[in-house]
Amino acid sequence: MRNWKSFSAAIVLIASVRGMAQTGYDEATKVFRLDGGNVTYAFGVNPRGELEQLYWGGRLAATDHIGPAVPAPEWASFDSSYSTTPQEYAGWGAGLFVEPALKVTFADGNRDLVLHYDHHEITSDGFNVVLKDIKRQVFVTLHYAIDPASGILARSATIENREAQPVTIEQAAAAAWALPAGHYTLDYLTGRWAGEWTLTQEDLHPGERVIESRRGSTGHQANPWFAIQAGERPDENSGEVWFGALAWSGSWRITVERDQLDAIRVTGGFNPFDFGYVLHPGERLETPEFYGGYSAHGLGGASRLLHQYELAHILPHRVGSGENAAPKPRPVIYNSWEATEFNVNEQGQIALAEKAAALGVNRFVMDDGWFGQRKNDHAGLGDWYVNPEKFPHGLKPLIDKVHALGMDFGLWVEPEMVNPDSDLYRQHPDWVLNFPGRPRSEQRNQLVLNLARPDVRDYVFGFLDKLLTENDIAFLKWDYNRNWSEPGWDQLPPAEQKEVYVAFVRNLYGILDELKKKHPNVEFESCSGGGGRVDLGILQYADEVWTSDNTDPFDRLTQQDGFTYAYTPQIMMAWVTDSPHWLNHRSTSLTYRMLSSMQGSLGIGANIAKWNDEEMATAKRLIATYHQVQKTIAQGDLYRLISPRDGSEFSATQTVNGDKSQSVVFVFIHSTQEGRGFPLLKLKGLDPAGDYVLTPIEGALKKGSPTTASGAWWMNHGLETSDDFKGDFQAAAFRLDKK
Ligand code: GLA
């Protein structure tokens, strides 16, 4: 009998302090296997030559035998085996009725593409498996890499045309994932401007659920993340979950299909809507990465794996090296937008900076309004010179003052946009996305520069490079305040103009990459009218994101809850702003606002010029406390103990740091009813044998509760808040430190 260890082919062991990965290929059975964390993934070459998925789930024993791959039998003459076999990357041809991973048209009109295994190579953390069309010289290299710690797979594809004629790609996925027939629940994130990050959950019904953006960028309306839970009753901390996230900031699509035999297939990559990419002989197209993971511990377990993966492998690393490299906890920022909107000037900003410094803020960020003729949102975008009326001596006096106050300086830019009322547009009306002779639809009075054009790319890189070279700027808030319309690119032949969807995003990434190389200490925030451009593609360059323009602290609890299913609190910027809130007219205490924002990476965005001594003292005290526990909150393991969703009366989160020496708990009351107090809170993730000292950050424990107890006590007996903890929009927070 064969076992995994006896495989004749190379087995690569990748050991690390975080975990162990093992990848191997068995020549006899033609099975590829990847093991990492608590996950095993396997696929094989079936007798027809297709690459077929065999297993994705909890880690199997090294001795377990997987495969060989056997194609699904023909169910009926209407459902060919080619369609029902869970192919790793199916070409559209041979009667494929499910989503293809790749669909092409050859120069002679042939549209049949059948991809078979050709050869492979073993890499340090996975495989490159090369497929080839059964007749033509179209090659697809599938890249697989598994993370030894989390078992998260990174998959992508490179499509290459070695024909003598061009090939047009009409649809290209990064990867397809399969699950066996069963009942599942689908989770995904939906929303709108000021209402991003709604966790949407539904039974996975027969048919296809399409999650997508056709907007040219990631979008507020849906986010390129999914989770599929086994069974119909999703649980936060138990049950099997398969999840994935697509690293692309352009138009994207993820389809989740339940076929006629109840099997599941998830396919994701470039959005095929209005897509066309001409590969000339010898050219290649690389897809984005599609990451996929598995947890046996519910959505909570899934998001903890994804957070750790983002921290270790996606986000720019700023401190440490090797295994210990990690993103730097975010500075506490002050941002002037809600205080002044476009009315920025030297004196006003200096006055705000003085008060921000007094609060213990680390970074002062001037938002929109400082450049060109930017009096409001009708003019100025594109003209990136300092407005001489507002800043007669340039930015230097303000930046110097901010530095003298002990903070670093950040600035708002919106590089890809132009107002028709700008010098740039008057000089280069052809630089925007447009179809010649057609109207140019404005949104927020602005048009989108066609970043795919080399001249536009050079202009955008040039002004940003100059800005960063001439000024001591530590941080750029990179905004993007509309989606595409009329996405024409008339510099190219008509058949190639749709390549704008790929070229635009590649140039965006290229600019960020080059800026970071030239200005390695500058940090970036990805903002798009709030959370409209958050994905694992932009997060390779952006240190943080603007979660939402909605800064209402109560709305934010649900948004932050949704956000953390896919993204780590490290990048989740959360400002404390004024009350009553501009959006909901809701009044909340400063403490409530502070604690809501402290769930993520804290910032202040209120008009602090008007804050009284008491408000200043409260904020100062809580910022100082935040600094002490920030790393745990931002980079620890997050447990969503009570969800704020669906109008919940209460909500609670808890974060535990890597060595379980510290934990931070936030509890919120929406509105107590019938005198009920906050429920008993059973904590999670602590060391049961360790003793933890509980210190209130805000609020109090029930009279008589111990303040020192074992991890087992806090997890099994639970934490009881004070009987007085009642009312509307109340908040408390506690820290636990291991003795
Ligand atoms: C967007 C951002 C805001 C602010 C404004 C400025 O809406 O999300 O935070 O920067 O633009 O115009």
Q: Whose CA is nearest to atom 12 of ligand 1?
A: 368
Q: How confident is the model at residue 3 (pLDDT cuts 50, 70, 90)?
A: very low
Q: From 335, 412, 582, give the residue whose CB has the most ligand 1 atoms within 8 Å, as the site to mutate.
A: 412
- Which of 368, 371, 419, 528 best tests ligand 1's pocket when mutated (most atoms within 8 Å of CB)? 368
Mean pLDDT of the chain: 96
- According to the model, what pLDDT value does residue 151 have? 98
Indicate which residue's Cα is closest to atom 3 of ligand 1. Answer: 529
Would you state the pLDDT for residue 578? Answer: 98
Q: Is the pLDDT of residue 337 over 70?
A: yes
Is the pLDDT at 291 greater than 80? The verdict is: yes
Res. 320 pLDDT band, cuts 50 70 90: confident
Q: Can you tell me which atom of ligand 1 is nearest the CA of 546?
A: 8
Is residue 336's pLDDT more than 50? Answer: yes
Average confidence (pLDDT) over 23-42:
96
Check residue 234 and give its pLDDT.
72
Residue 19 pLDDT: 57
Rounded to the nearest angstrom, the distance between the alpha carbon of 549 and the centre of ligand 1 is: 7
Across 523-537, average pLDDT:
98
Distance in angstroms (rounded) separating the CA atoms of residues 356 and 724: 33
Considering only CA atoms, which residue is closest to atom 4 of ligand 1? 337
Is the pLDDT at 17 greater than 70? The verdict is no
Mean pLDDT confidence for 586-613: 98
CA distances from 46 to 68, 82, 510 (A): 7, 11, 39
79 among known catalytic residues: no
Within 6 Å (CB) of ligand 1, which residues are found? 337, 367-368, 412, 479, 481, 527, 529-530, 546, 549
Distance (Å) from CA 341 to ligand 1 centroid: 9
Q: Across residues 658-669, what is the average pLDDT?
A: 98
Q: Average pLDDT of 592-617? A: 98
What mean pLDDT is predicted for residues 624-636?
98
Q: 557 CA distance to ligand 1 centroid (A)?
A: 20
pLDDT at residue 13, rounded to an integer: 43
- Residues 6 or more apart from 228 whose CB is under 8 A from it? 179, 184, 185, 186, 187, 204, 241, 242, 243, 256, 264, 266
Distance 478 CA to ligand 1 centre (A): 10
Distance from the alpha carbon of residue 413 to the mean position of ligand 1, in angstroms: 10
Q: Which residues pair with 39 in a beta bridge?
A: 36, 58
Long-range CB pairs of 394-399 (<8 Å, 24+ gap) are 395/370, 395/471, 396/471, 397/346, 397/350, 398/346, 398/349, 398/350, 398/353, 398/366, 399/471, 399/472, 399/473
- C-alpha to C-alpha distances, 563 to 213, 304, 634, nearest whole angstrom: 18, 13, 13
Nearest atom (ligand 1) to Cα of 477: 10
Question: Distance from the CA of 528 to the center of ligand 1, in angstroms?
Answer: 8
Nearest CA to ligand 1 atom 1: 529
Output the six-digit token pair for 727.
Answer: 């009312």
Residue to mutate, 376, 411, 527, ligand 1, most ligand atoms under 8 Å from C-beta: 527
Pocket probe mutation, ligand 1, options 192, 337, 477, max atoms within 8 Å of Cβ: 337
> Average of pLDDT values for 347-353?
98
The pLDDT of residue 572: 98
Place of tokens 């007996």: 717
Please, are residues 433 and 448 in contact by the beta-carbon 8 Å criterion?
yes
Q: Cβ distance 605 to 368 under 8 Å?
A: no
pLDDT at 20: 66
Which residue's CA is the closest to the ligand 1 atom numbered 2? 529
Compute, in angstroms, the gap from residue 291 CA to the centroid of ligand 1: 30
Over residues 248-257, mean pLDDT? 98
Report whether 466 contacts 514 (CB < 8 A).
no
* Model pLDDT, residue 506: 98
- Residue position matching structure tokens 């609670």: 652
In the set 549, 552, 555, 637, the catalytic residue is 549
pLDDT at 6 over 60: no
Cα-to-centroid distance, 529 and ligand 1 (Å): 5
Span from the CA of 448 to the centroid of ligand 1 (angstroms) = 16
* 299, 229 Cβ separation under 8 angstroms: yes
Kindly name the residue from 133, 259, 479, 552 that is annotated as catalytic.
479
Looking at ligand 1, which atom is closest to the CA of residue 412?
Answer: 10
Give the Å distance between the CA of 70 and the centre of ligand 1.
54
Report the DSSP beta bridge partners of residue 548: 530
Residue 209 to residues 101, 197, 206, 407: CA-CA distances in angstroms? 16, 18, 9, 48
Minimum CA distance residue for ligand 1 atom 6: 368
Residue 9 pLDDT greater than 60, yes or no? no
pLDDT at 14 over 60: no
CA distance 189 to 548: 14
Q: Whose CA is nearest to atom 8 of ligand 1?
A: 529
Closest by Cα among 118, 165, 168, 159 to 140: 159
616-624 average pLDDT score: 98
pLDDT in tens, 214-251: 999 999 999 999 999 998 777 899 999 999 999 999 99
Tokens encoding 440: 């140019």
Q: How many Å lie between the centroid of ligand 1 and the Cα of residue 249?
A: 19
pLDDT value of position 1: 31
Q: Taking residues 502-525, what's their average pLDDT? A: 98
Residues 177-218: tens digit of each pLDDT: 999 999 999 999 999 999 999 999 999 999 999 999 999 999
Ligand 1 site-directed mutation target among 479, 526, 550, 575, most atoms within 8 Å of CB = 479
CA of 367, closest atom in ligand 1: 10
Which residue, by CA, sits nearest to atom 7 of ligand 1?
529
What pLDDT sits at residue 708?
98
Q: Are strands 241-246 and 222-230 parallel, antiparallel or unpaired?
A: antiparallel
Atom of ligand 1 nearest to the CA of 377: 12
Q: Give me the mean pLDDT over the 489-510 stretch.
A: 98
Strand order in the sheet with 39-45: 11-15, 20-26, 31-36, 39-45, 51-58
Cβ(697)–Cβ(655) below 8 Å: no
Q: Which atom, in ligand 1's list, is nearest to the CA of 529?
A: 8
Statement: residue 42 has pLDDT above 50:
yes
Active site residue 549: yes
- Residue owning the nearest CA to atom 11 of ligand 1: 529
| CA 376 to centroid of ligand 1, rounded, Å | 12
